[in-house]
Amino acid sequence: MARIAGVEIPPNKKIRIGLTSIYGIGYSLTKEIISKTGVNPDTQGKNLTEDEVNKLRRIIENDYKIEGELRRQVSSDVSRLIHIGCYRGIRHKKGLPVRGQRTRSNARSRKGPRRTLGKKKKGTK
């Protein structure tokens, strides 16, 4: 089993798909990494040799921000926006969409589940 940057590469998936399980590596970066290392992109995770795993690990850990380091950077960027009080920071703070999406009819995933108001009971005299 290949373990790169603290993440298990799925053994039954091709390496070009399996590398995307690492936070910060998408499909385009995977193609770039595979071309740098010379590993066959159709090789499954369980069929990688130790030499190929070491090549992949070396390239990924030295050249790219991934996993914990990238998560820290993203959270510090968001907290900086909140601290300076810019429009995007205010949207982050309120839990609303940040990039200009409409909120009147959509944005349920960002705003959370709908809050329903209770009906008023008629008072008896």
Note whether 45 and 15 are within 8 A (CB).
yes
**The CATH number of domain 1-63 is 1.10.8.50:** yes
CB crowding 87-114: b at 16 or more within 10 Å, else e: eebebbeeeebbeeeeeeeeeeeeeeee
What pTM, to 2 d.p., does this model score?
0.74
Domain ranges of the chain: 1-63, 76-104
Determine which helix (DSSP H) or strand (DSSP E) holds 24, and give its type and residue range. Answer: none
Q: How far separated are the first and last CA of the chain, in Å rounded?
A: 75
Residue 81 has pLDDT above 70, yes or no: yes
pLDDT digits (tens, 9 = 90+) for 15-38: 999 999 999 999 999 999 999 999
CATH of span 76-104: 4.10.910.10
